[in-house]
Amino acid sequence: IDVGVPLVGNDGLIRRGSTLYVVENALAQISAVKISPDGSSGFVDQVYPVTGSETPTTAGIFGNALYAADARFGSMAGPYKVFRVDLK
């Protein structure tokens, strides 16, 4: 969909209602995209940093929080972490 700006390193996608959350691993952030009713366009409504994460990838929503796994592509050795991002 056209959101008017580039989204960098898109990895995980998760939708809740009219919001599509895009995990941007290259920038260690999650962009909340409000999508149009027909799903053909949208706009970035909010950007959430995944503070402390090296390479956030897939994500899941539970309650009012999004949880993003850190793949740590640059390091094969653990520990691996899951980061909580509170949604507004």
Q: What is the DSSP letter of 25?
A: G
Q: Which domain holds residue 54?
A: 10-86
Does 40 reside within a domain?
A: yes
Does 4 reside within a domain?
A: no
Question: Using alpha carbons only, what angle is made at residue 34 by residues 6 and 37, rounded to the nearest 5 degrees?
Answer: 115
The average pLDDT across 59-86 equals 89
> Where does the pLDDT of residue 1 fall: very low under 50, low under 70, confident under 90, or very high at 90 and above?
confident
Q: What is the pLDDT of residue 22?
A: 97
Tell me the per-residue pLDDT of 23-64, one tens digit each, with 9 for 90 and over. 999 999 999 999 999 999 999 999 999 999 989 999 999 999
Mean pLDDT of the chain: 92
Residue 67 in contact with residue 83, Cβ under 8 Å?
A: yes
Does 1 reside within a domain?
A: no
Question: Using alpha carbons only, what angle is made at residue 56 by residues 58 and 63, rounded to the nearest 5 degrees?
Answer: 60
Does 37 reside within a domain?
A: yes
Does 3 reside within a domain?
A: no
Does 60 reside within a domain?
A: yes
Predicted model pTM: 0.90
For the chain, how many structural domains are there in total? 1
Does 19 reside within a domain?
A: yes
Does 2 reside within a domain?
A: no
